[in-house]
């Protein structure tokens, strides 16, 4: 971790590294020997670890509500922003582009992810307004919606990229796809 923080290698870190040789995970037998006078402490670690374990499948997570203009739903506002972006990006979107956008917006609506896309769009807008470099990456580039919103710079329609690589109804859970999108916004000054 010290090398990562300093942007150097182990060989070049020299005296910046901690001299304490205890900075590692010990084997269970070594921990038991170290705490032989406190056997209840060792037993309690298993209890604590069991209580700390999380299961992401049943979190029931819901994205925060995006502040919408009056009369808009997340889906309708995302569609309006996407259509405006499509006119800007493609000037006169052809039928193939419109079909792709409708397909993607349909899946986003079914999975109830419009609010998430609005939040990511808002973050990208903030970055651009404040001259912070922001660029979508990873499989988010497979999305014509992300391209229309200015989240990515890759024209997924022209490149004939598969949206389902980014977001798929069949996967059965949003976390796999969204983790890609979450990582998709890399902002740096």
| Same domain, residue pair 89 and 180 | yes
d(CA 70, CA 34): 63
pLDDT in tens, 120-160: 999 999 999 999 988 887 888 889 999 999 999 999 999 98
Provide the pLDDT confidence category of residue 175 given band limits of 50, 70 and 90.
Answer: very low
The predicted pLDDT at position 177 comes to: 44
Using one digit for the tens of pLDDT, what is the confidence trace for 56-106?
555 566 778 899 999 999 999 999 999 999 999 999 999 999 999 999 999
Position 187 scores a pLDDT of 41
Q: Is 5 a residue whose pLDDT tops 50?
A: yes
Check whether residue 84 and residue 172 sit in a common domain: yes
Q: Encode 31-61: b = buried (16+ Cβ within 10 Å), e = exposed.
A: eeeeeeeeeeeeeeeeeeeeeeeeeeeeeee
Domain-embedded: residue 153: yes
Q: Look at residue 186 in the predicted model and tell me its pLDDT.
A: 43
Please tell me whether residues 93 and 183 are part of one structural domain. yes
Q: Is the pLDDT of residue 21 over 80?
A: no
Structural domain includes residue 58? no
Same domain, 79 and 110: yes
CA-wise closest residue to 86 among 108, 111, 104, 109: 104
Pair 140, 183 in one domain = yes
Full residue range of the structural domain in which residue 11 is found: 2-53
**Do 22 and 98 have their domain in common?**
no
- Residues 166, 169: Cα–Cα separation, whole Å: 10
Note whether 147 and 112 are same-domain residues. Answer: yes
Number of domains, the chain: 2
Residue 148, domain member (yes or no): yes
Residue 157 lies in a domain: yes
Domain match, 97 and 7 both: no
Q: Are 144 and 163 in contact (CB under 8 A)?
A: yes
């Amino acid at each position: 971790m010290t090398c990562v923080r300093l942007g150097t290698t182990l060989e070049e870190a020299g005296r910046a590294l901690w001299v304490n040789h205890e900075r590692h995970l010990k084997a269970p037998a070594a921990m038991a020997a170290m705490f032989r006078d406190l056997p209840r402490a060792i037993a309690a670690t298993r209890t604590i670890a069991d209580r700390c374990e999380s299961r992401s499948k049943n979190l029931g997570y819901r994205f925060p509500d995006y502040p919408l203009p009056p009369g808009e739903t997340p889906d309708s506002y995302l569609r309006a922003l996407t259509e405006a972006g499509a006119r800007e990006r493609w000037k006169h979107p052809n039928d193939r582009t419109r079909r792709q956008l409708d397909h993607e917006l349909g899946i986003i609506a079914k999975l109830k992810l419009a609010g998430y896309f609005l939040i990511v769009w808002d973050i990208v807008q903030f970055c651009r307004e404040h001259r912070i470099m922001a660029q979508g990456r990873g499989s988010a580039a497979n999305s014509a919606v992300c391209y229309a919103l200015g989240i990515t710079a890759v024209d997924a329609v022209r490149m004939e990229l598969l949206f389902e690589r980014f977001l798929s109804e069949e996967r059965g859970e949003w976390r796999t796809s969204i983790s890609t999108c979450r990582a998709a916004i890399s902002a740096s000054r």
